[in-house]
């Protein structure tokens, strides 16, 4: 590091040109970066379940590519009939819509539809409502049991990856169409379904991402300016981390990676991890300047003093994020690669840009104070805190161990959960529509059961009808599921008694929009779908697992059939839980890696073991907070753990390296702790204040996921500060200091005995 510092300041022009060239390359890559997402990519895995889902999509159409219009109020009226017919007719003309399924597709008297035309007698509308509530297809699927809610399902064209940038214009076009026909009428009309949730969520995340990032950066800069009391210092401290984010995003653009839903916090993570090292470098430079060193000399010495600590923090953080490559989900692998690259680029920018810029500061160095012996006790608030911490080292050590044990237990009680509308405001139009559909229909998400028969049987065989009937009975017996839909809904009892060939002919009466989703006689397959409420994976998983056991039992009794549960709601829920598991596993791996790296780098098993509690404390504190608030593990909360670990490890490494440096210069444990407080403690306080203030901006978000992410990040920063400025010094004094004091006491006793 001493050699690098001399080389950097001795050939500063070459390094400045190199940094400029890298920035130009990054700028070019940034023009290729897109804020886009293909929702299926986040839960895509190379396994049999996902392969079956893709096969189902290919044969029966995707079940996650629809928009559902939820209509509620007094609906069986001429006014509603006119609006619904106008909306459906125009939607069917759209080149982006494959099919539209509504109550207009339910046959009524003669050749007319069940819902009378607008000019019909009002009495006919009341009769139509009564018929709809008894119709085996309409009720529970298109019309709620109360008759107050009607669903209209619009299946969209799928001609390639369904990215948000592709489906957003379609969604907005249908929004305009909905408003044109239903706005101002005496009943509600709102969109729901997978497409609506995705578009509203990711559009909101994208919009608020830029707003909150700008607000957070502004607040952080103001806080940094107040603490440093120097515009130049504030800009220099922010330049290294800011450039790291810029280079990382540029690299992602060159690699063809997009800012996806899971990678939205990536810039914040890269900035926070790099910012900690930047502050430590600047504090060291300012201290050297106060001792009379020139700006270049102070910058060079800062690299020599802290370069190794910065490299260790970068190494541990990089390994931790790189461990995500072992994840089963492609999106998590990409996130891990990008954040690992950002950690490396943060190291390069901090050890290049910060010293170079600081070396140009023209502020005259202060007159060096008279040198005083290093054995003098440091003074000031931080030194007083150090004395208090060491004086209370025993109770603080017991508190750290006890609290850690309790938090570990709390962490083991957490369960992962996914609620599809968790990132949307609770009062948003889509959330209200989803909740209404859950209440009125038992759920809006569809779960298909694929029934395949072999060549020894046929669609109209008695075994097929009996199997479908038993399946419907199983579904009805489970209160978690909503009504099921199969070909039985279109086959009255008198038709079911027909011979198999005639029965197969009767299936031609099923409306085309429904038939294509339920039956493929050429593949010897039919579908029975059930409805699943948006109550979260944790609430619905037991029912789905029981259903799978029941299907296995049925298949054993009907060997000529095979039964499989699939659907995007099921596969996505399981695989999203796997995403959370991958993130947690990577954090566990990173924690072990940090312990090993610190043990090897510091050449001390004792220091490696003592570093575990301050490193783990912010993660465990947030886990305990989630448990206390009765919150499940979700992707947004797990991502904050990455920030927890990154900040905690950075602070711990800087504190321990400074502590060892003071020890090498002859200080005893308590004096070394006080001097470490005096130097590193200030940097930790500044880092916590600036970064926490930036995350406060996220708490202003209207999206619960982003606001909660900001709150957890702030709590993690405070917990990391407590871990490194309270628990770590207490542990060092209790275990290292006590051993030193015991050894010194023994030496004095031996000298006394000799005398």
Same domain, 596 and 732: yes
Q: Is residue 90 part of a domain?
A: yes
SS3 68: strand
- DSSP secondary structure string for all residues of 510-541: S-HHHHHHHEEGGGTEEEEEEEE-SS-HHHHH
Same domain, 612 and 734: yes
Same domain, 599 and 716: yes
Same domain, 386 and 505: no
Residue 31 DSSP one-character state: T
Quote the tokens at residue 114: 């069940």
Quote the tokens at residue 544: 């789905």
- Last residue of a domain, which of 523, 552, 572? 572
Same domain, 84 and 108: yes
Kind of pairing between the strands at 97-101 and 187-192: unpaired
Model pLDDT, residue 575? 67
Same domain, 654 and 539: no
Spatial CA neighbour of 491 closest among 502, 476, 479 = 502
Same domain, 21 and 128: no
Q: Is residue 342 part of a domain?
A: yes
pLDDT average, residue stretch 245-261: 86
Using alpha carbons, list the distances in angstroms from residue 628 to 199, 371, 621.
Answer: 32, 52, 10
Number of Cβ within 10 Å of residue 221's Cβ equals 18
Please state, rounded to an integer, the average pLDDT across all residues of the chain.
84
Same domain, 560 and 587: no
User: What is the SS3 assignment for 211-277?
Assistant: HHHHHHHHHHHHHHHHHHCCHHHHHHHHHHHHHHHHHHHHHHHHCCCCCCCCCCCHHHHHHHHHHHH
Using alpha carbons, list the distances in angstroms from residue 471 to 62, 517, 528, 739.
Answer: 23, 18, 8, 71
- Last residue of a domain, which of 366, 386, 411? 366
* Interacting residues of 83 by C-beta distance below 8 A, sequence separation 6+: 181, 182, 185
Model pLDDT, residue 373? 47
- Report the CATH number that the domain containing residue 255 is assigned in CATH: 1.20.1640.10
pLDDT average, residue stretch 351-359: 91
Question: In this prediction, what percent of the chain has a pLDDT beyond 70?
Answer: 91
| Confidence band, pLDDT 50/70/90 cuts, at residue 537 | confident
Tens digits of residue pLDDT in 374-396: 445 666 777 788 888 888 989 99
CB 66 within 8 A of CB 171: no
Tens digits of residue pLDDT in 605-625: 888 888 888 888 888 898 888
CB 520 within 8 A of CB 540: no
Q: How many domains does the chain have?
A: 4
Same domain, 558 and 672: no
96-118 exposure pattern, b = at least 16 Cβ within 10 A, e = fewer: bbbbbbbbbbbebeeeebbbbeb
Strand partners, 149: 72
CB 216 within 8 A of CB 694: yes
For the purposes of burial, counting CB atoms within 10 Å of the CB of 592, is it exposed (0-12), middle (13-18) or buried (19 or more)?
middle
Number of Cβ within 10 Å of residue 690's Cβ equals 27
- pLDDT at 472 > cutoff 80: yes
Same domain, 166 and 239: no
Q: Is residue 392 part of a domain?
A: yes
Between 751 and 322, residue with greater pLDDT: 322
Tens digits of residue pLDDT in 174-211: 999 999 999 989 989 999 988 898 888 877 777 777 77
- pLDDT at 501 > cutoff 70: yes
Model pLDDT, residue 576? 65
CB 702 within 8 A of CB 425: yes
Q: Is residue 664 part of a domain?
A: yes
Lateral strand order in the sheet of 561-565: 519-520, 525-532, 445-453, 561-565
Helices and strands of the chain, counted as H and E runs: 28, 8
Between 161 and 39, residue with greater pLDDT: 161
Q: Is residue 46 part of a domain?
A: no
User: What is the SS3 assignment for 440-451?
Assistant: HHCCCEEEEEEE
- Last residue of a domain, which of 507, 542, 572? 572
H/E stretch holding 100 reads: strand 97-101
pTM: 0.78
Model pLDDT, residue 327? 67
- Report the CATH number that the domain containing residue 150 is assigned in CATH: 3.30.70
Tens digits of residue pLDDT in 10-28: 888 899 999 999 999 999 9
Distance CA 94, CA 550 (A): 42
Same domain, 426 and 439: no
Same domain, 540 and 594: no
Q: In 451-511, where does DSSP find H-type helix?
A: 462-477, 493-496, 500-506
Quote the tokens at residue 178: 């909905």
Spatial CA neighbour of 87 closest among 220, 241, 8, 191 = 191
Range of the domain at 259: 1-41+230-366
Distance CA 434, CA 422 (A): 12
- pLDDT at 740 > cutoff 70: yes
* Interacting residues of 194 by C-beta distance below 8 A, sequence separation 6+: 39, 64, 65, 66, 420, 445, 568
Q: Is residue 213 part of a domain?
A: no
CB 569 within 8 A of CB 453: no
Distance CA 337, CA 340 (A): 5
- DSSP secondary structure string for all residues of 311-323: HHHHHHHHHHHHG
Q: At what angle do helices 330-358 and 266-290 cross, to 10 degrees?
A: 20
Q: Is residue 224 part of a domain?
A: no
Residue written as token pair 């000298």: 751
Tens digits of residue pLDDT in 46-85: 678 888 888 998 898 888 888 999 999 999 999 999 999 9
Model pLDDT, residue 372? 46
Q: Is residue 578 part of a domain?
A: no
Lateral strand order in the sheet of 66-73: 97-101, 149-156, 66-73, 187-192
Quote the tokens at residue 440: 């009125």
- pLDDT at 366 > cutoff 60: no
Distance CA 652, CA 317 (A): 13
Using alpha carbons, list the distances in angstroms from residue 569 to 162, 186, 243, 533.
Answer: 16, 33, 40, 10
Spatial CA neighbour of 277 closest among 246, 237, 223, 234 = 237
């Amino acid at each position: 590091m001493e050699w690098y510092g001399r080389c950097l300041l001795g050939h500063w022009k070459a390094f400045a040109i190199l940094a400029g060239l890298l920035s130009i390359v990054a700028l070019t890559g940034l023009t290729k970066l897109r804020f886009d997402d293909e929702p299926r990519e986040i839960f895509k895995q190379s396994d049999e379940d996902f392969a079956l889902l893709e096969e189902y999509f290919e044969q029966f159409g995707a079940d996650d590519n629809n928009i559902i219009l939820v209509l509620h109020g007094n609906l069986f009226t001429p006014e509603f009939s006119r609006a619904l017919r106008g909306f459906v007719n125009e939607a069917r003309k759209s080149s982006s819509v494959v099919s539209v399924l509504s109550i207009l597709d339910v046959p009524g008297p003669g050749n007319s539809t069940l819902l009378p035309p607008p000019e019909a007698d009002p009495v006919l509308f009341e009769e139509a409502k009564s018929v709809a509530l008894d119709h085996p297809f309409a009720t529970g699927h298109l019309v709620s049991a109360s008759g107050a809610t009607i669903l209209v399902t619009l299946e969209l064209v799928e001609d390639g990856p369904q990215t948000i940038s592709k489906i957003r214009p379609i969604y907005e076009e249908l929004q305009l169409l909905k408003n044109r026909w239903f706005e101002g009428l005496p009943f509600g009309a709102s969109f729901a379904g997978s497409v609506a949730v995705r578009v509203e969520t990711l559009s909101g995340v994208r919009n608020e991402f830029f707003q909150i990032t700008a607000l957070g950066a502004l607040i952080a800069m103001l806080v940094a300016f107040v603490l440093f009391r120097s515009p130049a210092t504030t800009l220099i401290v922010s330049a290294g981390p800011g450039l790291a984010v810029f280079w990382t995003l540029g690299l992602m653009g060159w690699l063809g990676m997009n800012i996806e839903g899971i990678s939205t916090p990536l810039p914040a993570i890269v900035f926070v991890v790099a910012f900690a090292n930047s502050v430590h470098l600047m504090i060291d430079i300012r201290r050297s300047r106060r001792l009379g060193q020139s700006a270049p000399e102070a910058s060079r010495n800062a690299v020599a003093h802290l370069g190794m600590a910065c490299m260790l923090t970068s190494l541990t953080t990089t390994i931790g994020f790189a461990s995500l490559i072992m994840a089963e989900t492609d999106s998590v692998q990409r996130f891990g690669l990008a954040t690992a690259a950002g950690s490396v680029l943060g190291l390069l920018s901090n050890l290049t840009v910060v010293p170079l810029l600081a070396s140009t500061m023209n502020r005259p160095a202060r007159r060096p104070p008279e040198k005083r012996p290093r054995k003098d006790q440091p003074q000031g608030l931080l030194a007083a805190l150090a004395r208090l911490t060491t004086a209370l080292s025993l109770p603080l050590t017991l508190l750290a161990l006890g609290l850690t044990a309790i938090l570990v237990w709390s962490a083991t009680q957490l369960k992962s959960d996914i609620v599809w509308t968790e990132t949307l405001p609770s009062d948003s139009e889509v959330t209200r529509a989803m909740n209404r559909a859950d209440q009125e229909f038992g759920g809006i998400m569809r779960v298909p059961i694929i029934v395949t028969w072999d060549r020894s049987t046929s669609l109209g065989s008695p075994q097929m009808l009996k199997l479908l009937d038993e399946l419907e009975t199983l579904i009805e017996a489970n209160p978690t599921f909503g009504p099921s839909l199969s070909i039985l809904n279109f086959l009255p009892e008198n038709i079911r008694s027909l011979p198999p060939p005639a029965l197969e002919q009767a299936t031609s009466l099923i409306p085309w929009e429904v038939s294509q989703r339920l039956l493929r006689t050429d593949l010897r397959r039919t579908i029975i779908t059930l409805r699943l409420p948006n109550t979260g994976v944790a609430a619905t998983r037991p029912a789905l697992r029981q259903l799978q056991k029941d299907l296995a039992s049925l298949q054993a009794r009907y060997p000529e059939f095979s039964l499989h549960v699939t659907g995007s709601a099921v596969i996505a829920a399981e695989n999203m839980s796997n995403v959370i598991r991958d993130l947690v596993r990577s954090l566990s791996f990173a924690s072990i890696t940090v312990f090993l790296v610190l043990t090897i780098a510091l050449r001390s098993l004792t220091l490696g073991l003592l570093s575990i509690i301050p490193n783990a404390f912010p993660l465990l504190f947030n886990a305990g907070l989630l448990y206390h608030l009765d919150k499940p593990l979700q992707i947004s909360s797990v991502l904050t753990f990455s920030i927890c670990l990154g900040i905690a490890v950075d602070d711990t490494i800087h504190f321990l390296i400074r502590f060892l440096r003071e020890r090498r210069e002859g200080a005893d444990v308590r004096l070394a702790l006080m001097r470490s407080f005096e130097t590193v403690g200030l940097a930790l306080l500044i880092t916590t204040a600036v970064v926490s203030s930036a995350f406060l901006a996220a708490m202003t978000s209207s999206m619960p996921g982003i606001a909660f992410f900001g709150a957890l990040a702030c709590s993690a920063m405070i917990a990391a500060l407590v871990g490194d400025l309270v628990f770590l010094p207490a542990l060092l004094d209790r275990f290292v200091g006590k051993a030193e004091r015991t050894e010194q006491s023994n030496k004095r006793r031996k000298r006394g005995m000799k005398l």
